């Protein structure tokens, strides 16, 4: 979006005031008025249009900003529709019920929340996608928490923490590849350097979830009742593992996420049709309306009635509005003016690192798109790291620590809207328990302030020489 800038930029005071006012307005509407995010974001769009008119910009110019802003999220929008289909088809094929059954067997032991975090982290690394992890294993664990009367907010916090650990550390992850590519750093060097902040954040998060896990384990009768209900639904079958195996295989072989999700959904639908779970016409209907469970156990019905493109429409509409607002922030020069002013004041390695982190966080708050927080911040700060004699891998690490993992904590962001919709838990409810996502930026800011774990260019050259020898 950096090309979406006017010929003359507004003043820094004007830009900061408008940006803060818009963010505060959206926050007040969501937290105090209990409004859906769509309303304040649309008001923000109207506010920025008015500002553009005052600056004598034509509606055609402003409209192009909104359209180009919204276009940046079209890839995510298409994936949202496919994930809605994936959930519905995996319900019909028995894949998610089977995962739920496995999750129930794990839930019978101690440290439930810590297990949720660890399992979703492992799956996240394997799949390289926080969305897919949350929509599959995450949905299964939410169902387990509902049946055990465990806090859904804590469970969602554990799921989000684990999913974004995987999204951050997996070599298959889009954001991990993007962060390393934007600043021209070797992928595995980038992952190794992230370990300085990610491993401590993982350990602290695991310990916190151990301490927060319920003291009493779920009774055998409580768990067996739900598991019997799942078995009586007649969805679980050995073939239920095939869609998951296909998704993992396609992901490992680095097929596009769109192709992987579509192929897995098609296979799951055909498996359900061949097994006679539903009539073929009803199966294709689930792609839009979602899977509707019909058993004698109401608890099981509530666990299994999910998915469909229709369930994603709330998310899609919000993402389009949020990105359109982000486009206006650039078209009117608000964000370019702030970035330009910040760059001119940077001198030391400490100030460059801290400014990078706060810029990535700020873009997440103002635009709500994690890819843009990585792209825009990476493009804006590369020269600053060169001047500060800092190795580029410091920049790529900060982009992930303060860019990737912050997005699910913003109620109007792409990740926040998606996760709250899929897990059924509002962002502000799970936010205090998404420990990994909260700790990652704190640690990168702390290390940036103290200078610990930062690599300077001369030290990097010495390390490269040792490796070559």
Over residues 412-453, the pLDDT tens digits come to 888 888 899 889 899 999 999 999 999 999 998 888 878 777
Are the CB atoms for 189 and 420 separated by under 8 Å? no
Most confident of 228-242, 351-365, 398-412: 398-412
In sequence order, the 6+-apart residues with CB closer than 8 A to the CB of 228 are: none
- Reduced to 3 states (helix: H, G, I; strand: E, B; else coil), residue 306 is strand
Grouping H, G, I as helix, E, B as strand and the rest as coil, residue 61 is helix
pLDDT tier for residue 216 given thresholds of 50, 70 and 90: low
0.85 surpassed by pTM: no
Q: How confident is the model at residue 219 (pLDDT cuts 50, 70, 90)?
A: very low
| Highest mean predicted confidence (pLDDT) among 1-10, 198-207, 314-323 | 198-207
- C-alpha–C-alpha distance, residues 390 and 463, integer Å: 14
By the 8 A CB rule, do 352 and 385 touch? yes
**Residue 1: pLDDT above 70?**
no
What's the mean pLDDT in 208-219?
A: 75
pLDDT tens digits, 324-333: 887 888 888 8
Structure confidence at residue 467 (pLDDT): 42
Residues forming a β-bridge with 291: 306
Identify which has the larger pLDDT, 438 or 362.
Answer: 438
For residue 15, give the nearest of 419, 246, 330 by alpha carbon: 330
| pLDDT cut 90: percent of the chain above it | 21
Query: Does residue 150 have a pLDDT over 70?
Result: yes
Span 151-193, pLDDT tens digits: 899 999 999 999 999 888 876 677 787 787 777 787 778 888 8
* Average pLDDT over every residue of 291-308: 77
Answer yes or no: are the C-beta atoms of 360 and 379 closer than 8 Å.
no
Name the residue with higher pLDDT: 405 or 296: 405
Query: Which pLDDT band, with edges at 50, 70 and 90, does 462 fall under?
Result: very low
Q: What angle do CA 13, 14, 16 make, to 5 degrees?
A: 65
pLDDT the model gives residue 438: 94
Q: Is the predicted pLDDT of residue 291 greater than 80, yes or no?
A: yes
Instruction: Give me the mean pLDDT over the 43-68 stretch.
Output: 91
What is the b/e burial string over 297-309, where b = at least 16 CB atoms within 10 angstroms of the residue's CB?
beebeebbebbbb
Is 58 in a helix, a strand, or coil?
coil
* Sign (positive or negative) of CA dihedral 355, 360, 361, 363: positive
Residue 468: which pLDDT band, with cuts at 50, 70 and 90?
A: very low
What's phi and psi for 348, nearest 5 deg? -95, 165
pLDDT band at 149 (very low <50, low <70, confident <90, very high): confident
Give Rg (Cα) of the chain.
Answer: 23
Q: What is the pLDDT of residue 346?
A: 65
Q: Over pLDDT 70: what percentage of the chain?
A: 89
Residue range 7-23: mean pLDDT, rounded: 84
Position 153 scores a pLDDT of 94
Q: How far apart are CA 217 and CA 199, in angstroms?
A: 28
How many CB atoms within 10 Å of residue 216? Answer: 7
Q: How far apart are CA 39 and CA 277, in angstroms?
A: 41
Phi, psi (rounded to 5 degrees) for 451 = 85, 0
Residue 110: predicted pLDDT: 75
- DSSP-derived letter for residue 134 is I
Could you give the CA distance from residue 446 to residue 196 in angstroms, rounded to a whole number? 12
Within 12-146, strands assigned E span none
Residue located via tokens 């199966």: 283
74/201: higher pLDDT: 201
306 - beta bridge partners? 291
CA distance 321 to 66: 9
Confidence at 209, pLDDT banded by 50, 70, 90: very high
Residue 155's closest CA among 424, 442, 441, 402? 424
CA distance 313 to 325: 19
pLDDT, greater one: 254 or 262: 262
pLDDT at 107: 60
Rounded to whole angstroms, the Cα distance separating 35 from 31 reads 8
Contact between 48 and 22 under an 8 Å Cβ cutoff? The reply is yes
d(CA 85, CA 284): 10
The confidence band for 323, taking pLDDT boundaries of 50, 70 and 90, is: confident
| pLDDT tens-digit readout, 383-397 | 778 877 888 888 888
pLDDT of 458 reads: 56
Q: With cut-offs at 50, 70 and 90, classify the pLDDT of residue 314.
A: confident
């Amino acid at each position: 979006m950096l090309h979406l800038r006017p010929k003359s930029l507004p003043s820094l005071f004007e830009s900061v005031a408008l940006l803060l006012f818009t963010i505060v307005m959206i926050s007040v509407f969501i937290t105090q008025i209990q409004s859906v995010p769509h309303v304040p974001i649309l008001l923000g769009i109207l506010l920025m249009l008015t500002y553009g008119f005052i600056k004598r910009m034509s509606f055609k110019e402003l409209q192009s900003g909104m359209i180009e802003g919204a276009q940046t999220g079209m890839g995510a929008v298409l994936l949202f529709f496919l994930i809605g289909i994936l959930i519905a088809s995996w319900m019909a094929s028995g894949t998610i019920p089977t995962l739920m059954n496995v999750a129930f067997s794990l839930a019978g032991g101690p440290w439930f929340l810590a297990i949720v975090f660890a399992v979703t982290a492992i799956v996240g690394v394997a799949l390289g996608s926080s969305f897919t992890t949350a929509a599959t294993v995450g949905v299964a664990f939410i169902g387990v928490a509902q049946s055990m009367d465990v806090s859904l907010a804590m469970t969602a916090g554990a799921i989000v923490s684990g999913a974004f650990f995987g999204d951050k550390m997996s070599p298959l992850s889009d954001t991990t590849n993007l962060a390393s590519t934007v600043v021209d750093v070797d992928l595995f060097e980038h992952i190794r350097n992230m370990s300085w902040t990610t491993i401590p954040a993982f350990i602290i998060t695991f310990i916190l979830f151990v301490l927060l896990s319920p003291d009493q384990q779920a009774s055998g009768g409580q768990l067996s009742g739900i598991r019997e209900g799942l078995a009586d639904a007649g969805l679980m079958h050995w073939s239920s593992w095939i869609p998951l195996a296909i998704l993992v295989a396609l992901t490992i072989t680095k097929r596009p996420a769109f192709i992987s999700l579509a192929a897995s959904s098609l296979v799951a639908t055909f498996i359900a049709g061949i097994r006679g779970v539903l009539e073929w016409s009803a199966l294709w209907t689930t792609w839009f309306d979602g899977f509707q469970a019909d058993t004698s156990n109401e608890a099981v019905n509530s666990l299994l009635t999910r998915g469909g493109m229709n369930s994603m429409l709330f998310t899609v509409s919000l993402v389009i509005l949020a990105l359109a607002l982000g486009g206006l922030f650039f078209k009117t020069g608000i964000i370019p003016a702030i970035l330009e002013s910040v760059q001119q004041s940077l001198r030391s390695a400490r100030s460059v690192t801290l400014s990078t982190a706060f810029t990535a966080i700020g873009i997440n708050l103002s635009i709500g798109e994690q890819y843009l927080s990585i792209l825009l911040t990476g493009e804006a700060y590369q020269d600053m790291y060169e001047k500060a004699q800092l190795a580029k891998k410091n920049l790529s690490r900060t982009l992930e620590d303060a860019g990737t993992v912050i997005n699910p904590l913003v109620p109007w962001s792409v990740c926040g809207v998606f996760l709250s919709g899929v897990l059924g838990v509002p962002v502000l409810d799970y936010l205090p328990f998404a420990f990994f996502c909260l700790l990652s930026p704190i640690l990168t800011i702390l290390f940036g302030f103290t200078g610990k774990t930062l690599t300077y260019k001369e030290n990097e050259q010495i390390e490269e020489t040792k490796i070559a020898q």
